[in-house]
Amino acid sequence: MRDKMNQSTLNKPSILLACALSFSVLSCSAVPGSNTNDSQQVSSGKTHQGVDKTSDPNVQPIADEHIYGYKLTWSDEFSGDAVDLDRWHFRLDCKHWSQQKAENNVVVGGVYRVLLQKETADCPHNRWIQPGQKKGDKPAGVVQYSGGGIISNDELRYGFYEARLKTPSGAGWHTAFWMMRDLTVNADPSDLDFNPLANPEVVSHIELDPFENDSIDLKHFQTDAHQWKPEPGTEDEGRTQNKVGTKQIRFKDDTSLDQWQVIGMEFTEERLKYYFNGELISDVSFPKDKYKHNDVSIWLTAIATFLGKTEAVDDSRLPDEFQVDYVRFFEKVE
């Protein structure tokens, strides 16, 4: 759970900020799932897809006057009729209450959409109890919902990340715009017991989270960062990670996350700055010497979940969608 430590109020827009402790789940990382034939072979590392040909090459980040000197170097405007598989691969797993499926990722009307549906799938190794089960029950091994997501083939690092998005309206979905290296590339998606962080050769990977929402609350989202598997003795007490600068963003005005919003994050060698519709909402120290920065992929994901104290998915709102208008990455001009 996310335990609030203190709060302060922001005026434009009216937002409540709260520092928070970590919850122990690796945020939406793709541990491959079961009951799918959507195995993918994806080359890791930089593939340099660059700027979408339909992007305005002169566009600038939506941010305050302190964000300047940037040039668009990577983007997807989702102007085609399908997910660009030169640029993205699919998130495929069973996690929490859903199976993530390739066919749930579509592009329609200039918008990337994750289709969120009620449908049963066998997930025999799923470790989480399902709606209708009680604490202490053996996990059912069957999920009742499907979600999805895409992960960039390109790996990026320092710059400004931006997406225009809106969440589903009904309770029960964890949607996120986030960054981490995909440690499951070329793994067998039928092997849910595979845990990439358990590999002794995997050390010190960062995760950046400019936007995480649990749709039970459309007036709240979370920002934070992680360093997974840091050098022994440097991790947070009682954990196998370092969690940095978590903030709970709460709106007091008529803002609702199921309407279009622009999420931004500047990642530099020393800091993370998080933006909401161009307004700075968090500024966190994240120095490379301490947290061992690495290249990351961009993730856009939606899974059914119990997070946010969700007791059940709101079936009356299904089918629903997580929608993204564009994703852009800017780098500093030399």
Cα separation, 124 vs 140, in Å, equals 8
pLDDT at 195: 67
Tell me the mean pLDDT in the region 203-219.
96
Structure confidence at residue 91 as a pLDDT band (50, 70, 90): very high
Structure confidence at residue 76 as a pLDDT band (50, 70, 90): very high
**According to the per-residue pLDDT averaged within each range, which of 96-110, 181-195, 224-238 is highest?**
96-110
pLDDT at 38: 39
- Answer yes or no: are the C-beta atoms of 32 and 182 closer than 8 Å: no
Structure confidence at residue 199 as a pLDDT band (50, 70, 90): confident
pLDDT above 80 (res 134): yes
Expressed in percent and rounded to 5, the helix, strand and coil fractions of the chain are 5, 45, 55
Q: What is the pLDDT of residues 279-309, one digit of tens each?
A: 999 999 999 999 999 999 999 999 999 999 9
Tell me the mean pLDDT in the region 204-213.
96
Contacts of 150 (CB under 8 A, 6+ apart): 83, 88, 89, 90, 91, 105, 112, 299, 300, 301
**pTM to 2 decimals?**
0.87
For the chain, the average pLDDT equals 86
Strand partners, 329: 74, 161
Tell me the mean pLDDT in the region 16-31.
37
pLDDT at 289: 96
Strand partners, 266: 160, 273
pLDDT at 47: 55
Tell me the mean pLDDT in the region 237-261.
95
Tell me whether the omega of the peptide bond preceding residue 189 falls within 30 degrees of 0, making it cis: no
pLDDT above 70 (res 263): yes
**Tokens 């520092």 found at:** 19
- Looking at beta carbons, which pairs linking 2-5 to residues 24 or more positions away fall under 8 Å? 2/222, 2/246, 2/248, 4/248
pLDDT at 203: 86
Handedness of CA 305, 306, 309, 313 (dihedral sign): positive
- Answer yes or no: are the C-beta atoms of 277 and 261 closer than 8 Å: yes
Query: Is residue 138 helix, strand or coil?
Result: coil
pLDDT above 50 (res 66): yes
CA 295: distance to chain centroid? Answer: 16
Cα separation, 173 vs 152, in Å, equals 22
Strand partners, 284: 272
Dihedral class, residue 185 (left if φ above 0, else alpha if ψ from -120 to 50, else beta): beta
Tell me the mean pLDDT in the region 172-190.
82
Tokens at 119, concatenated: 């449908």
In order of start, what are the domains of the chain with their CATH numbers? 37-132+139-332 (2.60.120.200)
